Amino acid sequence: MEAIRKHLGISSWHVLSHSWGGLLAQAYTAWHPDRVSSLVLSSSSLGVGADWKLTKRVAFRTSRQRAGLWGTVRLYCYGSGLGAPGSVRNRAMRHVMTETWHNYFLDPRRAPDPDEHWLGGCSADAMIRTDRAVSREDPAVLTGLPHTPVPRWSCTASTTFSARQPTSSGAAFRRHSSSHSRIPGTCTGCRTKRITARHCTISTPRHGQSIV
């Protein structure tokens, strides 16, 4: 991200992120707070190191529950192709991301297919390398994020449960999908509830304001 910013010649920018990109954006903001004008996290992933591994386990469990037996079999079969070379690996990646996309929906069988341009931009090599790097990272890398002078927005929609307690990785605000089980140590005492409206938390550290 920093290399892109330098290439574009931007002194600072507004960072909008989703899912795995939200995790990258949090780390970037913690490392380069002077380069971030504002940070928006939309259904962001949680933490690095042990926190990230725990998040993956919960996400995989939810995916299996939604996909059912045959959907899970398909996902693991396609996933085994990620270690193959060339075109086989690329095709496997497209299928893995298609299955993953469908499992984001409460009923994967009725989910629309992902956009072809989006699938074309998915890289197995980039995904595997990033996953390994994030898994090895020290969770303390994000502990300074709540104290950075950067306005933060944390948003999600659909069924949610939420917590104001910081996670072990130190992020100030979290929103979790209720399809994920409560994560020990990250949202103690959370209760699941079904909602239809979008929830947004706006934090402006410079002025000490918070709006929900």
Listed residue (119, 137, 111) closest to 28, CA to CA: 137
pLDDT, one tens digit per residue, over 34-53 is: 999 999 988 888 788 988 89
Which helix (H) or strand (E) element contains residue 15?
Answer: strand 13-18
pLDDT of residue 156: 59
Question: What crossing angle do the helices spanning 50-80 and 86-103 adopt, rounded to 10°?
Answer: 120
Mean pLDDT of the chain: 75
Query: pLDDT tens, 147-203?
Result: 788 887 776 543 333 333 333 333 333 333 333 322 233 333 333 333 333 444 444
Q: Which of 4-18, 144-158, 194-208 has the highest mean pLDDT?
A: 4-18
